[in-house]
Amino acid sequence: MLDRTELNQIVSAAATAVLSNGRVSAVRIEPTADSEGRDALRVMLVLAPDSLASISGDKALDTIVAIQNRLLEAGEDRFPIIQFATEEELAESDSPDP
């Protein structure tokens, strides 16, 4: 298993290679379990403001595949569960309900 620093570097590089520089403002990775209880990784790609309109479904899929392939090449056997969110969406989800 790779450590957090290695995971962040690999995921950031893969996402940047597909989406281009400046589209992903942050990467958040935490251990989790998949639907069958196996070790997995929750990978959140935080998108920079105004980048959402320029990311097509094909680009999102290409990004997911690139991340999965690079992690496998690096010897990471945990399955990455990859999500995309804008900074605004994360801020809204972190806000307490009224």
- Percentage of the chain modeled with pLDDT above 90: 69
pLDDT at 95: 58
Helix ranges (DSSP H) in the chain? 4-19, 57-73, 87-94
Across 51-68, average pLDDT: 90
Q: Which pLDDT score is estimated for 94?
A: 66
User: Tens digits of per-residue pLDDT, 10-54?
Assistant: 999 999 999 988 889 999 999 999 999 999 999 999 998 888 778
Distances 68 to 36, 38, 47, 87, 93 between C-alpha atoms, Å: 19, 16, 19, 23, 26
Domains of the chain with bracketed CATH: 4-89 (3.30.300.30)
Token duo for residue 20: 């281009």
pTM of the model: 0.87
Q: DSSP 3-state assignment of 52?
A: helix
Q: Which pLDDT score, from 0 to 100, does residue 28 have?
A: 95
